[in-house]
Structure 1
């Protein structure tokens, strides 16, 4: 049975500095060839203050400083051998750049069942802000336990 008491529960607040080297490595790993993501001069010529953060890189930073296994097992009460990543969504409000320090504030926003309780879902949302308190993005993800 889905544990509705989890709704509103904080999964913690973490902070991560956006490092240029990691942005370059990520761009290479995903096959990004636009020099805006790897060369300072190209980023500045394109009107950015520094290398921009590629959209899905926020997910990498969001998981830093956390113990995902402990969150899944101890907080959500799920069995790692029975879970699947069900959904991921990003809602961007402004760009983040190399040198920014981003704060990730995560909490559980929904818990529900489908198929008569055979599938249990937990939905997590993370608010991302920069060092100036500006709202960068909202990340939303769902896990399902069969």
Structure 2
């Protein structure tokens, strides 16, 4: 595979506009075992002061997914063999709540590339700015992808 070129740092990936849908929020809440009705019942959400169903923590990560193979084009464009990809870590910095009915823009950017163990493990850091329709910050997402290079050190 070879080393991932550090020149990728600073690469802005295509932004994606997504609509936050009630059904998807309810499915996510169910999948993570969330039992608070605020995440599944509009009346409960409104009674709690929300405009609609609120976006649960970590849901925003999934908004960047869902396009099938296109989700990983940024990796294959860097020469990454997807058979050797591992999810390293992710973190979220929240600025304001999002709700069902919102349109959000996700703007990802590669912010770091480095390796460890003589290149056997390569790391890609991607940060995604999430903004509402007015351009106001909703959250900043950070994920680290680990790429194992089985040919390193041979």
TM over 0.5: yes
1:2 Cα deviation after fit: 3.7
Whether the 8 Å CA contact 1:14–1:65 is kept in 2: the answer is no
The residue aligned with 2:143 is 141
Q: Paired residue for 1:24, among 26, 41, 50?
A: 26
Instruction: Give 3-state SS (helix, strand or coil) of 1:11's partner.
Output: coil
TM-score normalised by structure 2 residue count: 0.89
Q: Is the 8 A contact 2:96 2:139 kept in 1?
A: yes
TM-score of the superposition, structure 1-length normalised? 0.94
Alpha-carbon shift at residue 129 of structure 1 (Å)? 0.2
Q: 1:89 aligns with which of 91, 95, 114?
A: 91
Is the 1:20–1:99 contact (alpha carbons within 8 Å) kept by the matching residues of 2? yes
Shift of 1:68: 2.1
Where structure 1 has 5 or more consecutive residues not aligned to the other structure, the ranges are none
Asked if 1:131 is matched to 2:133, the reply is yes
For residue 33 of structure 1, give the secondary structure of its aligned residue in structure 2: coil
- C-alpha separation between the residues in 1 aligned to 2:124 and 2:95? 24
Unaligned runs of 5+ in 2: 149-154
Q: Give the match for residue 35 of structure 2.
A: 33
2:152 aligned residue: none
Task: State yes or no: 1:122 paired with 2:120.
Answer: no
1:50 to 49, 52, 64: 52
Identify the residue that residue 73 of structure 2 maps to in structure 1.
70
Matched, 1:10 2:9: no
- Sort the Cα spacing of 1:81 and 1:113 in 2 relative to 1 into closer, same or farther, 3 A: same
Q: Partner residue of 1:98?
A: 100
